[in-house]
Chains A and B, each alone.
Chain A
Amino acid sequence: MAKKESVIYPYIPNSVPEIKEEMLKEIGIKEAETLYGEIPNNLRFKRKLNLPKPILAEWELKRHVMDILGKNKTCEENLNFLGGGCWQHYVPAVCDEIASRSEFLTAYAGEVYPDLGKYQAFFEFQSEIGELVGMDVVSLPTYSWGCAAGNAVRMASRMTARNEVLLPETISPERLAIIRTFCKSAVRKARIDVRLISYDSKTGLLDLESLENEISSKTAAVYIENPSYLGFIESQSERISKIAHDNGAMSIVGVDPISLGVVAPPADYGADIVVGTAQTLGIHMNCGGGGIGFIASRDEEKYVAEYPSLLISISNTVQEGEYGFGICAYQRTSYASRDKAKDWVGTTTGLWTIVAAVYMALMGPCGFKEIGQTIIQKAHYAIKLLSEIGGISLPFSSNSFKEFIVNFDGAGMSVTDVNKALLSHSIHGGKDISREFPELGNSALYCITEIHSRQDIENLVSALKEILK
């Protein structure tokens, strides 16, 4: 190996042949090959990996990658109205700054003594989310809202010893698919049945009669979302929680916390477990890589015992007045108990957790109130202008928070065609939901946030006017 022309790799200090040889000598062997003596010959990979010729110089590499990425059209270049599970909010510069701190970026699973700051930031995240949703226990987040919802349903099933969950038909099909995966089991009797409750075709709100009919002593939980996938706020939330409780079931609520400066915290309307995303809290969309989902509940042992994820608790130390932190009731997690665990836990979204903590600290109570108000006003401004366009109708939009359905049936155009046309105006149109909800016709889910100026909204409106003309 040392004989052939060696590349000195800047990321590998010991790729210098002399050093390598010296180390081999210290180990007492002649060549690195000897170190693989344990691998039987027939299991050895004989040829060289067929990979592209490496781009060794950093500048060339950067250029190569930037050339590929240049084929993307970003949401900075284009005006974006896509939401539906990943949302474009403004990311404060301080969030980017902390996200790039090498300590947070490159630390991993260190103990609390060397990694105190990481633990404290995690605790602050939990505390801040707790304030927003009105709960005293919040876990370290999992991969996404959908995963958190899946975990919560399983928690409820274990806690109630029941095997059925009721969800609104208006749930995000993507989150539903994840929940379904989490509810499956190799053993029939351990499966959780996922049943959908119909909605009022005029408002999108859950059909309470249908809920009353479907709920039974088999129901572990009723899961609803605020705002819902289709954008509206479920005004009957308190009654839904009550119906669940009256039947011995739990109430699980999914939230986008960016709404919680103006919308009531789920604890206030009877939620037992709250889940949601934190991607909207200072995390870039990253083409879906910004996903992060939390779980929260009341501070009761029976809940804490069922969390699949890590819970960071504050503690004290032998030094008066010093805070310490640690992992609470640690036996629950799969790390500790292997397959005895209630669920599994792994590397999830630590860096995003810290960034979201920074975001919530920057925003404070006023920031959340103002951003909620701004989003609602801007969204409803868009709703108002769009509804004035011939050929467009906007079902379910009266209670919208930031997302709403735009229906093009009146114009006789498919969403695909509308969106293609919008692209030529440098606009990413709303998410096409006509296959997800065929009963809603040619509909798209539009998303307006604080980043959309009045001008942006008016640009969308004039582009659509032109397209639908």
Chain B
Amino acid sequence: MSKKLGFIVNPIAGMGGRVGLKGTDGQMILEKARQLGAVPESPRRSAIALKRIICIKENIELITYPHEMGEDEARECGFNPTVIGSIRLGRTTLHDTENAAKEMLRLGVDLLLFCGGDGTARDVYNVIGDEVASLGIPAGVKIHSAVYATSPHNAGDLAVACLEGSSSGLRLRLAEVMDIDEEAFRDNRLSARLYGYLKVPYQRRLVQSGKSGSTHEEEASIDAIASDVINNMQDDCLYIIGSGTTTRAIMEKLGLENTLLGIDAVYSKKLTGLDLNEAQLLKLTEGTRAKIVVTVIGGQGYIFGRGNQQISAKVIEKVGKENIIVIATQNKILSLKGNPLLVDTGEDKVNQMLGGYIKVISGFNERIMLKVAT
């Protein structure tokens, strides 16, 4: 039975970048981009990826949306795609992306390959969640989401490995869908949030030598971090557990219910609150020692203010800097490329307080010194 590959192109992704606009969410901006002479990046980039998939053309069914949303690129690259749905040429919106994803989910695609930026990932996420494997071909101006391959040709190679199913070391993982508020971004204010997680394939790169070692197994690292945190947990202390897969591992190791995107709390290794807001957190910390466990969210290195705004400046101030535990896998730390950790609590004073070096827990009995920028 041949595998089904869903393929969606956001035809306008990446238009803003070269003309100095920060993203193309919204018709007005799009028009402005066109006036400035912007050309979309997505056709070219998605074609690079498709060309790497052509070698397994005979073994897959490529399902795509009409014209500029995938059909054109697919035909140009030599595919004979199954085209579904309909669009208004040159007038596609995020609803088209969502409809396409919905239809492909229904048709049971094995992998949904989409080309765009953070906005596109969000649209896809809104429809498919982590029900089916998906992967982004990077073309957008803003790429903060971890669901995109490092380059279009890598996206193609990963898709081939995923569909062939025989490749060594191919794994699926939950990767973050991040997006920033584009309006704030254009005003030079940065405010991103974690929307959720898509299930994306990635290639483990095994180096078979007694010398070189291999890359970290992400799950093993996360598990080791959770063991370390639990090993050092004190009984008479409230633990506020931030959002994300790294912190979730602590809850799962303790056998506790938890929310992936929300803030939960633990006391004496028992659950005391799920999906808490600021007010609830302030109340819970009343009259008790508390610690905050957070991980690094998104590619930019935020530990506060992105995806965990519930842990507000007030909460942080109350808990105190010395009671903040930052956890992150080595891979995540490396993805910062040497940049410091960031905080955006909304309060300068608290941001300042959080500055300086911090020992980030990166494994069992393992710490990495990282700087928190002020």
A345-B212 Cα distance, complex, nearest whole Å: 12
Tell me the B173-232 residues at the A interface (CB within 8 Å).
206, 208-217, 220-221, 224
Instruction: Name the residue on B nearest A347 (C-beta).
Output: B210
> CB within 8 Å of A: which of B24-46?
none
Contacts of B208 in A (CB 8 A): 111-112, 326-327, 330
- The CA-CA distance from A120 to B179 in the complex, in Å, is 51
Tell me the nearest residue of chain A to B227, going by C-beta.
Answer: A340
CB nearest neighbor in B for A189: B231
Given A111-B208, A326-B208, A333:B213 Cβ within 8 A:
yes
A338 contacts which chain B residues (CB < 8 A)?
A: 330, 363, 366
Q: Is A201 on the interface with B (CB-CB < 8 A)?
A: no
Tell whether, in the assembled complex, residue A109 and residue B209 are in contact, meaning their CB atoms are under 8 Å apart: yes
Docked-complex contact B221 and A336, CB < 8 angstroms: no
The answer on a CB contact under 8 Å between A331 and B365 is no
In A129-164, the 8 Å CB interface with B consists of none
Chain A residue at minimal CB-CB distance from B212: A335
Decide yes or no whether B267 CB sits under 8 A from chain A. no
Q: Give the residue of A108, A335, A337 whose beta carbon is less than 8 angstroms from that of B363.
A: A337
Minimum Cβ distance to chain B for residue A113 (Å): 9
Residue of B nearest to A324 (CB): B208
Q: What 1/0 mask marks residues of chain B from 353 to 374 whose CB sits below 8 Å from any chain A CB?
A: 0000000000111100000000
Min CB distance, A256 to chain B, in Å?
27
Is the beta-carbon distance between B363 and A336 smaller than 8 angstroms? no
The tally of residues in A whose CB lies under 8 Å from a CB in B reads 18
| In-complex Cβ contact of B206 among A330, A333, A337 (8 A) | A330
**What total of A-B pairs shows CB separation below 8 Å?**
52
Chain B's nearest CB lies how many Å from the CB of A178?
A: 23
Q: Are A327 and B365 in contact (CB under 8 A)?
A: no
Determine the distance from Cα of A340 to Cα of B364 in the docked complex, in whole angstroms: 6
Which among A112, A331, A340 has the highest number of chain B CB atoms within 10 Å?
A340
- For residues 267 through 326 of chain B, which have their beta carbon under 8 Å from a beta carbon of chain A? none
A339 within 8 A of B: yes
**Known A-B contacts A109-B211, A110-B209, A330-B208; A339 and B363 likewise in contact (beta carbons under 8 Å):** yes
A95 to chain B, nearest CB (A): 23
A294-326 vs B, Cβ < 8 Å mask (1 yes, 0 no) = 000000000000000010000000000000001
Q: How far is the CB of A159 from chain B (nearest CB, A)?
A: 15
* Interchain nearest-CB distance for B40 vs A (Å): 39
List residues of chain B with CB within 8 A of the CB of A331: 214, 216-217, 220
A310 touches B366 (CB 8 A): no
Bound Cα distance A144, B212 (Å): 24
Docked Cα-Cα span, A333 to B212, in Å, equals: 11
A306 to chain B, nearest CB (A): 13
Q: Which residues of A contact B213 (CB under 8 A)?
A: 330, 333, 335-337
Contact A340/B221 with A330-B214, A331-B214 known, Cβ cut-off 8 Å:
yes
Neighbouring A residues of B363 by C-beta, 8 Å: 337-340
Shortest B214–chain A CB gap in Å is: 5
B142 to chain A, nearest CB (A): 33
Chain B interface (Cβ < 8 Å from any Cβ of A): 206, 208-217, 220-221, 224, 330, 363-366
Apart from the given pairs A335-B211, A335-B212, 16 other A-B contacts in the complex at a CB distance below 8 Å: A109-B211, A326-B208, A327-B208, A327-B210, A330-B214, A331-B216, A331-B220, A335-B210, A336-B214, A336-B216, A337-B363, A338-B330, A338-B363, A338-B366, A339-B364, A339-B366
Q: Can you spell out 24 A-B residue pairs with CB atoms less than 8 angstroms apart?
A: A109-B211, A109-B212, A110-B209, A111-B208, A112-B208, A310-B210, A326-B206, A326-B208, A327-B210, A330-B213, A331-B217, A335-B212, A335-B213, A336-B215, A337-B216, A337-B221, A337-B363, A338-B330, A338-B363, A339-B363, A339-B364, A339-B366, A340-B363, A345-B210
Please report A residues at the B interface, Cβ cutoff 8 Å: 108-112, 310, 326-327, 330-331, 333, 335-340, 345
8 closest cross-chain pairs (CB), A and B: A335-B213, A109-B211, A340-B363, A336-B213, A109-B210, A331-B217, A326-B208, A339-B366
